[in-house]
Amino acid sequence: MQTQILKPDESSLSAAKKIIEEGGLVAFPTETVYGLGANAFDGEAVKKIYEVKGRPQDNPLIVHVHKDYDISRIVCDIPDYAKKLAEKYLPGPLTMVFKSKGTVSPVVSCGLDTVGIRVPSHPDAQKFLKTVDLPIAAPSANVSKHVSPVTAEHVYADLNGKIPLILDGGKCTGGIESTVLDCTGNIPCVLRSGLVTREMIAEVAGDCGVFIPKAGEKVRSPGMKYKHYSPNCRTMLFSFAERQKAFEEYKKQRGEGVDAYLMCDGDVAREFNPEFMLFLGNNEDEIAANLYDKLREGEKVATLIIAVAPEKQDGVMTGVMNRLSKACGG
Ligand code: AMP
Ligand code: MG
């Protein structure tokens, strides 16, 4: 299969619509990462997503809709706090999990009785969703467990020959996947942290829990148990407090002829000024936006990425640290 990369315009969007209606897959940009979409009503189409990605069969997909889509066609029991959250944060990088009406294919949620709904804010995502006017099941458009894609080139590197079309909307500005929020309880509960932080949710909903799986307990967001976001090279992760140790390790590895790169933010970059660096940025938004791009750049140039965690750990950095420790913690 030939994989085309096209800018979203009238002709490419109508090609995308045709592919989706015929049960095929289209990769499209969002404000977080690129998604790999299929018609959520079509179980056979959704199965192709799992095949193409090599995704475990018990890791449910998020359903993407345009901002005027009536989600009561897909889900029910929408609590008042969720309506308030939608008012404030949608379209945007927040996925809300509700009770399913059973209209989307059971393949989407891997047999769970819930569905995650997302309304992306990226204008090209909205154009694509509006053109197809169908709920689109989509995970990140990468091979399972690899680093999520934030450019059309990243998607192409992973899925060339496996999908017909990538809509190219440039580099994603958000950089890490959406916050996944369980909205089936009396208060919302964060299942996966992201750019819409727990603090932002609590501000609107009054309260917000965070799901921390305990040993033996049923996993509520199955995706969280898998190794994820990993570059194809060796990695090490040091805390901010251990940054001196990280720099010593980097020098030692370099001394032994290893292509080691220090992955770090502005604080660490200024302190050590390493020659071989994967620079993440100076603030939390830059760091989130650059993380996956730098992991992908790193696997091309480095045989070893030595990552130093930023000092700040709350807010958006909660989500960044979750991804960084899965990518580099091992
Ligand atoms: P990805 O598509 O790779 O961004 O992963 C989607 C994430 O959302 C995974 O962590 C899933 O486990 C989670 N997810 C999707 N649907 C549901 C659902 N119905 N209930 C709980 N978590 C979900
Ligand atoms: Mg993913």
267 C-alpha to ligand 2 centroid (Å)? 29
Q: Give the CA count within 13 Å in the CB-facing half-sphere of 179.
A: 33
The pLDDT value given to residue 272: 98
Q: What is the tens place of the pLDDT at every residue in 126-138?
A: 999 999 999 999 9
The pLDDT value given to residue 228: 76
The pLDDT value given to residue 225: 52
The pLDDT value given to residue 229: 85
Residue 324's CB: how many other CB atoms inside 10 A?
24
Residues 175, 33 contacting (CB under 8 angstroms): yes
163 and 266 housed in the same domain = no
User: Would you say the CB of residue 183 lies under 6 angstroms from ligand 1?
Assistant: no
Ligand 1, atom 9, residue with closest C-alpha: 223
Domain count, the chain: 2
User: Would you say the CB of residue 115 lies under 6 angstroms from ligand 1?
Assistant: yes
User: Would you say the CB of residue 62 lies under 6 angstroms from ligand 1?
Assistant: yes
**Which runs of E-coded beta strand occur in the chain?**
4-6, 26-28, 35-39, 62-64, 75-76, 94-100, 114-118, 136-138, 165-167, 179-182, 189-192, 209-210, 234-238, 260-264, 277-279, 304-308
314 C-alpha to ligand 2 centroid (Å)? 22
Look at strands 165-167 and 26-28 and give their pairing: parallel
| Ligand 1 atom closest to Cα of residue 33 | 4
The pLDDT value given to residue 218: 59
pLDDT < 50 stretches in the chain:
none
150 and 250 housed in the same domain = no
Instruction: Please report whether residue 262 resides in a domain.
Output: yes
The pLDDT value given to residue 192: 95
CA distance 89 to 112: 25
CA distance 77 to 217: 25
CA distance 133 to 127: 10
The pLDDT value given to residue 212: 81
Report the CATH number that the domain containing residue 250 is assigned in CATH. 3.40.50.11030
Report if pTM > 0.85. yes
Instruction: Please report whether residue 227 resides in a domain.
Output: no
146 C-alpha to ligand 1 centroid (Å)? 16
CA distance 54 to 242: 36
238 and 113 housed in the same domain = no
Range of the domain at 302: 234-328
